[in-house]
Amino acid sequence: MDEVTRIPVGGERPYDVLVGRDLLDPPPRLLPGATRVAVLHAPPLKGLADTLGARLRAAGVEPLLIEVPDAEAGKQLDVAAACWDQLGEAGFTRTDAVVGVGGGAVTDLAGFVAACWLRGVRWVPVATSLLGMVDAAVGGKTGINTAAGKNLVGAFHPPVGVLCDLATLDSLPPADRAAGMAEVVKCGFIADPVILDLVERDPAAAIDTTGAGGP
């Protein structure tokens, strides 16, 4: 695994956000004692989920790969219920865990599934979009949509760690990178003006995920 940046998140249940490349090895280490881990993922990320499943299996953990609809179509009660049914069939206990691989919609769903199963089991978001890395995966906000509106049903359920693998951004379309950077800039206005200085100094490097550029 290459060099990793650790960003601590405080609160009653503190955890680290890990930023770097090749971060598929940490999940087993973040989930000591788990014998089963459900890996929720959308169809476009099947390859990444399969790789994670193989690494879990190599670490002695039984993976349960659960494919869910992509984007907002996956943040539905019937999808969550189908996930719970699969956890039940696989015999998931309180020591087992959930991993969400994808953008904000998938990690929102995975966190909500984990928050409700046996009144809360451990979970890890593996964010694969810039917006998901800087917003949805951090803070423990989980939820699904209903006919009444978005995210009206959910829970605050902090993860045991957040993985932001920059390699997943290499193929992210420019429009999606820009959308994620808008959230980064918002954080700069809210809490840390240094973010704005970095972005203004070299806007192109700010969305460079290769590590080749940057201030």
The structural domains of the chain, with segments of one domain joined by +, span 5-170, 173-209
The predicted pLDDT at position 169 comes to 86
Q: Are 123 and 159 in contact (CB under 8 A)?
A: yes
The predicted pLDDT at position 173 comes to 78
The predicted pLDDT at position 121 comes to 97
The predicted pLDDT at position 208 comes to 59
What pTM value is reported for the model? 0.86
The predicted pLDDT at position 206 comes to 58
The predicted pLDDT at position 213 comes to 43
- The sign one gets for the Cα dihedral 204, 206, 212, 215 is positive
Whether domain 5-170 has CATH 2.160.20.10: no
Give the residues of the chain that fall short of pLDDT 70: 1-2, 136, 203-215
Give CA–CA dist 66/101, Å, rounded.
Answer: 10
The predicted pLDDT at position 214 comes to 39
The predicted pLDDT at position 2 comes to 62
- The answer for residues whose C-beta is within 8 angstroms of residue 103's C-beta and 6 or more apart is 42, 71, 127, 128, 129, 131, 132, 136
Residue 130 — φ and ψ, nearest 5°? -65, -40
Helices (H), the chain: 26-30, 46-58, 77-90, 104-116, 130-131, 174-190, 193-201, 203-206
The predicted pLDDT at position 215 comes to 34
